[in-house]
Amino acid sequence: MKFKSVFDIIGPVMIGPSSSHTAGAARIGKIARDLFGKQPTWARIHLYGSFAETYKGHGTDVAIVGGLLNYDTFDERIKTAFDDAKTAGLTFEFIPETAHTEHPNTARIVIGDDEREMSMVGISIGGGKTEITELNGFLLRLSGELSAILVGHEDRSGCIASVANCLALYNINIGHMEVSRKEKGNMALMIIEVDQNINDSILAEIAKLPNITQVRRIAD
């Protein structure tokens, strides 16, 4: 068996007893906040499988809330995330579900504020690693291991090529790309994981491309 790094062997630097139930959960919460683009004011967190059965004992609940507060897996403040959420004006509810899911460590996080809401499905696959499998009904696969951007766009020919060409102009290498749409000719979503950081000026240039409706950075 091959390992990419020492962290694949000893696990991530983290707060809590379990890489899957704590570190992975914190990362799922943090990715949700990154995708939302700001601090939400409320959250409904649906837990499935092993998450639903052991979330209190393994610290999955405080880890997800800590992630929603933008705490990383090793942040000591995860321990006080519930109290910190009250101070930040974030209300939350955990809803254990009995429905079967493909992966035992699955969470559907619905977050929002007075302006909008967002739904995201994330799974913790072990060793603190995660995958995001759904965003607002769009099916995708986002690892959270690399820097990434979300690009909302109209489902038109040339959109994918124009974004890829823009990144190539700045020597940004694409490590992984997912494109999802709900209906032909309607709205679509690109999730692009890259090997380099993308600065604000590049994001602004992508946002000006034809048929692009939204561009957002997702922290690694």
- Residue 100 has a pLDDT of 82
- pLDDT greater than 50 at residue 16: no
Q: What is the mean pLDDT of the chain?
A: 87
pLDDT band at 220 (very low <50, low <70, confident <90, very high): low
- Residue 20 has a pLDDT of 59
pLDDT band at 18 (very low <50, low <70, confident <90, very high): low
pLDDT band at 141 (very low <50, low <70, confident <90, very high): confident
pLDDT: is 25 or 183 the higher one? 25
pLDDT band at 21 (very low <50, low <70, confident <90, very high): low
Tokens 């992508």 locate to 206
pLDDT tens per residue, range 64-110: 999 999 998 889 999 999 999 999 999 999 999 998 888 889 999 99
Q: What mean pLDDT comes out for the span 171-181?
A: 92
Specify the CATH architecture of the domain 147-218.
Answer: 2-Layer Sandwich (3.30)
| DSSP code string of the chain | ---SSTHHHH----SSS-IIIIIHHHHHHHHHHHHHTS--SEEEEEEEEHHHHHTTTTTHHHHHHHHHTT--TT-GGGGGHHHHHHHHT-EEEEEE--S--SSSEEEEEEEE-SS-EEEEEEEEEETTEEEEEEETTEEEEE-SSSEEEEEEEES-TTHHHHHHHHHHHTTPPEEEEEEEESSTTSEEEEEEEESS---HHHHHHHHTSTTEEEEEEE--
pLDDT: is 173 or 4 the higher one? 173
Would you kindly state where each structural domain of the chain is located, as residue ranges?
12-136, 147-218
CATH 3.30.1330.90 fits 12-136, yes or no: yes
pLDDT band at 32 (very low <50, low <70, confident <90, very high): very high
